[in-house]
A and B are shown apart, each in its own frame.
Chain A
Amino acid sequence: MVMYSYLGQEAVTRLNQQACKSARDFLREVPRVEIFIEVHSVSGKYLQIPEGRLSILMDRTIVSANNITKSFVSVRALDNVSVSINRGEIRCLAGENGSGKSTFVKVVAGVLAPDSGEIVVNNNSYPKLTPIGAINEGIQVIYQDLSLFPHMTVAENIAMNKMVAVHKRLVNWDEVYRVAEEQLELIGHLLDLKAQVGTLSVGNRQIVAICRALSLNAKVLFMDEPTTALTQKEIDRLLSIVMDLKAKGLSIIFISHKLNEIFEVADYITIFRDGKKVGDFENKALDKKSLTYHMTGREVEYPRYRRVSNDDLPLLEVRNLTRNGNYKNISFKLQKGDILGITGIRGSGRSELALSLFGLNPPNSGEILVKGRPFNIKIPDDAVNQGIVLMPEDRQTEGLFLKKSLKENISSTILDRIKTKAGFIDRKKQEEIAAGSVKKLKIRTQSVDTLVRNLSGGNQQKTVLAKWVATGPELFILDSPTVGVDIGSKAEIYELIHRFASEGMGIILISDELEEILANCNKVLVMYAGEILEILTEKDLDKPDVGEHILAVMSRSRIVDSAEKFKNGEAIPR
């Protein structure tokens, strides 16, 4: 119904615009989708249509980017790419990092000007769009960083862009609240309008960003990796909102590295590789394997890890470890060459446990034994001295010095070892170590002097790995090591993890991606609400239905979780 009136309105406007042409010409010009509009009285100098029902054919395409080419200094980021987006569809853009997806989004949003090609929006052709031009045509982009104002209220964040767009001079606070309330109502969500955005969860911030886009009459909504930092529940909520918006006639372009999300929401999937479009596919025409093949250009397999070490001395043993409010009664053993998976939804205590093993977030009770001896890890230094290192989940803020070079990042953990007698850094040694790591971990970079922020996500992640591997750790805790990393690099990172373990390192791998856990681990703990629900051994992991089993445990938890929240009166999110 919404679709009907929305298209009808547009068709009438267009009829008026075309009044100088005969109605017949107009009808011939835009074939494709047949819609009916109710005409009450349309008349003009050259155009007269009697009252009654009129059947016209309307173009389904809302945006088409034709033959777009865009080069940066020496790289062709987009090579003669054509994509058209239809009304009311969800189109996923898939491709590895650097395949041109983001460049494509920026071109359509008017942030970048293409070298050649044209963008046609609502039948208006542009050689290049401006950001304001794109907004006026109803194109909205929700960038990965969300571009929100953390110290401002929810209401203002939602309404601000609209106020700017209509060139307001004074602020009418009643209107600000009204606009915000309307948009939140539209997507059926409750938020405290006066809360500061900086205090909201990432999932709720995403909702604020969506409302802001909608307030500007978005017709085409680009979402750049919207689910990266969300919990599973928030992802489910976001995806249902996305489906809702589609039902309301919005076109959504969804970018994600998570294949199961792509298959969950997409009508069509457009695949990019090396700046070229591989093709447009219907959702049903692809499966994980073929999608991966098209994205990477090769078969990507994640081989299972098999422990080869026969040194059974436990590297780490945890007994009844409890941290009030985070996790309780955690016990497990880790031997040399083990890759121990800890899985569970966000908030299950998995990351909190990892922090405790690294000397942050100290436990309230329980024991940690390192190589059989009880050890009290109070600060990260203690952990590092015992050969325990942690790769945090958020590599950008916690794992890397983005504005420093690759070699400086890699050597940042071993400054003591590369210092000269006078206490200065031995530059030659620093360079050697960095070059060695680059080779060993296959980091793709022009030189060891490249700034880390200029590397792709996968290579950044390898740099974090390199930085810690340089210290020669015995136990490596990896928290979600492939978040925001594309498929190709993922396979390489898995390969590295397997190699480290085979060489005798103990590894704890924290992840909520089932595939990742199954490919890498020879032991798995499934955590929920701070407790270990199940411990899966190598034998369990060999069973063919183990994946479904883990999912069942986790989804059972999810129902329990929402039931508990409901009991505690937390059903309404803030």
Chain B
Amino acid sequence: MKVRSLTRMEKYLLAIIAVYSVVVTIANPAFLTFETLLDMVRAASGTLILASGVLVVLISGGIDVSFTAIAIIGGYVSVRLMLSTGINSLLFASAISCLIGLACGLINALIIHCFHLPTLIATLGTSSVFYGVMTTFMGTKGVNASQMPSSMVDFGGCQLFVIPAKSGTTYGLTVFIIPVVIILIVTWFILYRTMLGRGIFALGNSEEAANRAGFNLLNIRLFIYSFMGVVAGIMGIVYVSEVRWVNPIALVGTELSIIASVVIGGAKLSGGEGTIFGTILGVLIIKLLNSTLVFLGLSSSWNDFFIGIILIASVAVTSYQARLKNRRDLIFTE
């Protein structure tokens, strides 16, 4: 594989991460340890999984806000089913969760395609519907740690390798890295190595042109939203395994911050642009802030503040550059 050069956004992000890490390390040398790194990988796993799906949706020129609902529905329903059927198998849970995600995604795609709805409105609607159906039929009773199926708890605690820490405890690399890496590779492969992926880019560039080129837009949309649904389903399992209890109202409401991290990573809300590496950097930068404000002696309530600043700055920078370029071409858009 030929290695492409980094996009401008990716370079900015890498620079920011580097500078920020140096600052934090100077402020608090405890930051620069292997343990912090592995900790961040664990914290970023779920977001990275969702972000791959979000990236695909954004590249297609759409926006999906129902994926957090799908993720928690997948996690919650599969745990409840495990408890009621007594099947204590991670595979079973994953299958259930993925199927739920697939079904929800297909519904999203059909609604968007058949009624020509703006994707934001459509998924805003379906996320309430999905969530409403779940709470109506399954209730909103939480599942506490002691009730959690052992297969999930084991999965959540499993580590690929373990290193003893000085304090006597141990730390290691979470097993979540496996689904994360697989999903990232699959996403990359689909986007850059299949005609389906190029169709997704084409759709995001210009729906009309994609249609005239002979792409089957229904199939492409079915794929995009069911892919989003399935990765949301996987994330649901990873999430409940990680926290080891299920609160059916968790996750919902965090969708915009995940979309924000993908946008920070260089994906355009107008579609047609976005890279996997940028997405990874976008997620990392947010997680880095999340976990390092403590090192700087700031309370975690500063979190949203900084994320907002970065989001606005990153979007403003690209838009300003576009404006400068337009001015050079004598196009006045403001």
Binds A, one of B97-105, B147-155, B194-202: B194-202
Count, chain B residues at interface, CB 8 A: 24
Given contacts A170-B194, A171-B193, A361-B330, contact A164 B205 (CB under 8 A): no
Give chain B interface residues in 188-246, CB to chain A under 8 Å: 192-199, 201-202, 204-206, 208-210, 212-215
Alpha-carbon distance between A152 and B213 when the two chains are bound, in angstroms: 14
Among A131, A151, A168, A170, which residue has the most Cβ atoms of chain B within 10 A? A151
Interface pair A360/B214, CB less than 8 Å apart:
no
Alpha-carbon distance between A164 and B212 when the two chains are bound, in angstroms: 11
Interface pair A360/B213, CB less than 8 Å apart:
no
Is residue B161 within 8 Å, beta carbon to beta carbon, of the partner chain? no
Measured CB to CB, the nearest residue on chain B to A146 is: B209
Interface pair A161/B214, CB less than 8 Å apart:
yes
From A132, A168, A171, give the contact of B192 (CB < 8 A): A171
Interface pair A147/B272, CB less than 8 Å apart:
no
Is residue A46 within 8 Å, beta carbon to beta carbon, of the partner chain? no
Measured CB to CB, the nearest residue on chain B to A194 is: B4
Interface pair A149/B201, CB less than 8 Å apart:
yes
Is residue B35 within 8 Å, beta carbon to beta carbon, of the partner chain? no
Given contacts A131-B212, A169-B195, A171-B193, contact A360 B332 (CB under 8 A): yes
Closest chain B CB from A178 CB (angstroms): 15
From B195, B208, B213, B272, give the contact of A170 (CB < 8 A): B195
Per-residue 0/1 for A141-153: is the Cβ within 8 Å of any B Cβ (1 yes, 0 no)? 0010101111110
Among B197, B210, B212, which residue has the most Cβ atoms of chain A within 10 A? B212
Among B193, B205, B214, which residue has the most Cβ atoms of chain A within 10 A? B214
Q: Which residues of A contact B255 (CB under 8 A)?
A: none
Among A148, A164, A351, A398, which residue has the most Cβ atoms of chain B within 10 A? A164
Given contacts A135-B214, A161-B213, A164-B213, contact A152 B195 (CB under 8 A): no
Closest chain A CB from B314 CB (angstroms): 18
Closest chain B CB from A507 CB (angstroms): 21
Alpha-carbon distance between A352 and B331 when the two chains are bound, in angstroms: 10
Interface pair A152/B194, CB less than 8 Å apart:
no
Given contacts A161-B214, A352-B330, contact A149 B195 (CB under 8 A): no
Please report whether the interface of chain B is mostly helix, strand, loop or mixed according to DSSP. Answer: helix
Interface pair A160/B272, CB less than 8 Å apart:
no
Is residue A63 within 8 Å, beta carbon to beta carbon, of the partner chain? no
Alpha-carbon distance between A151 and B270 when the two chains are bound, in angstroms: 11
Is residue A355 within 8 Å, beta carbon to beta carbon, of the partner chain? yes
Is residue B39 within 8 Å, beta carbon to beta carbon, of the partner chain? no
Interface pair A151/B214, CB less than 8 Å apart:
no
Interface pair A164/B214, CB less than 8 Å apart:
yes
Interface pair B206/A163, CB less than 8 Å apart:
no
Interface pair B330/A152, CB less than 8 Å apart:
no
Alpha-carbon distance between A319 and B213 when the two chains are bound, in angstroms: 52
Interface pair B205/A147, CB less than 8 Å apart:
no
Q: Which residues of B contact A135 (CB under 8 A)?
A: 214
Given contacts A160-B202, A351-B330, A352-B330, contact A147 B194 (CB under 8 A): no
Interface pair B209/A147, CB less than 8 Å apart:
yes
Is residue A156 within 8 Å, beta carbon to beta carbon, of the partner chain? yes
From A148, A170, A171, A352, give the contact of B209 (CB < 8 A): A148
Is residue A165 within 8 Å, beta carbon to beta carbon, of the partner chain? yes
Interface pair B193/A170, CB less than 8 Å apart:
yes
Q: Which residues of B contact A170 (CB under 8 A)?
A: 193-195
Closest chain B CB from A196 CB (angstroms): 10
Give chain A interface residues in 357-406, CB to chain B under 8 Å: 360-361, 398
* Residues of A in contact with B, size category: 20 to 34
Alpha-carbon distance between A152 and B193 when the two chains are bound, in angstroms: 14
Interface pair B206/A160, CB less than 8 Å apart:
no
Give chain A interface residues in 100-158, CB to chain B under 8 Å: 131-132, 135, 143, 145, 147-152, 156
Alpha-carbon distance between A150 and B201 when the two chains are bound, in angstroms: 10
Alpha-carbon distance between A398 and B332 when the two chains are bound, in angstroms: 8
Interface pair A151/B213, CB less than 8 Å apart:
no
Q: Which residues of A contact B272 (CB under 8 A)?
A: 149-152
Alpha-carbon distance between A152 and B209 when the two chains are bound, in angstroms: 12
Closest chain A CB from B269 CB (angstroms): 13
Measured CB to CB, the nearest residue on chain A to B268 is: A151
Q: Which residues of A contact B214 (CB under 8 A)?
A: 131-132, 135, 161, 164-165
From B194, B198, B332, give the contact of A160 (CB < 8 A): B198
Given contacts A161-B214, A171-B192, A360-B332, contact A150 B198 (CB under 8 A): no
Measured CB to CB, the nearest residue on chain A to B212 is: A147
Q: Which residues of A contact B201 (CB under 8 A)?
A: 149, 151-152
Closest chain A CB from B244 CB (angstroms): 41
Measured CB to CB, the nearest residue on chain B to A392 is: B332
Alpha-carbon distance between A151 and B206 when the two chains are bound, in angstroms: 10
Given contacts A351-B330, A355-B330, contact A149 B206 (CB under 8 A): yes
Per-residue 0/1 for A161-193: is the Cβ within 8 Å of any B Cβ (1 yes, 0 no)? 101110011110000000000000000000000
Among A165, A169, A171, which residue has the most Cβ atoms of chain B within 10 A? A171
Measured CB to CB, the nearest residue on chain A to B192 is: A171
From A132, A164, A361, give the contact of B195 (CB < 8 A): A164
Interface pair A160/B192, CB less than 8 Å apart:
no
Closest chain A CB from B194 CB (angstroms): 6
Given contacts A161-B214, A361-B330, contact A168 B205 (CB under 8 A): no
Closest chain A CB from B210 CB (angstroms): 8
Alpha-carbon distance between A232 and B245 when the two chains are bound, in angstroms: 70
Alpha-carbon distance between A398 and B208 when the two chains are bound, in angstroms: 22
Interface pair B215/A164, CB less than 8 Å apart:
yes
Interface pair B202/A169, CB less than 8 Å apart:
no
Give chain B interface residues in 164-194, CB to chain A under 8 Å: 192-194
Among B201, B273, B330, which residue has the most Cβ atoms of chain A within 10 A? B330
Measured CB to CB, the nearest residue on chain A to B4 is: A194
Q: Which residues of B contact A161 (CB under 8 A)?
A: 213-214
Interface pair B213/A171, CB less than 8 Å apart:
no
From B195, B196, B197, B206, give the contact of A150 (CB < 8 A): B206
18 contacts across the A-B interface (CB closer than 8 A): A131-B214, A132-B214, A145-B208, A149-B202, A149-B206, A149-B210, A151-B272, A151-B273, A161-B213, A161-B214, A163-B198, A164-B213, A164-B214, A165-B214, A169-B195, A169-B196, A171-B195, A171-B197
Q: Kindly list 19 other residue pairs between chains A and B, CB separation below 8 angstroms, not including A151-B205, A152-B205, A160-B202.
A: A132-B214, A135-B214, A147-B206, A147-B208, A147-B209, A149-B209, A150-B272, A152-B202, A161-B213, A161-B214, A163-B195, A164-B214, A164-B215, A168-B195, A170-B194, A171-B193, A171-B194, A351-B330, A355-B332
Q: 3 closest Cβ contacts across the A-B interface?
A: A149-B205, A147-B209, A151-B272
A binding-site residues for B, Cβ under 8 Å: 131-132, 135, 143, 145, 147-152, 156, 160-161, 163-165, 168-171, 351-352, 355, 360-361, 398
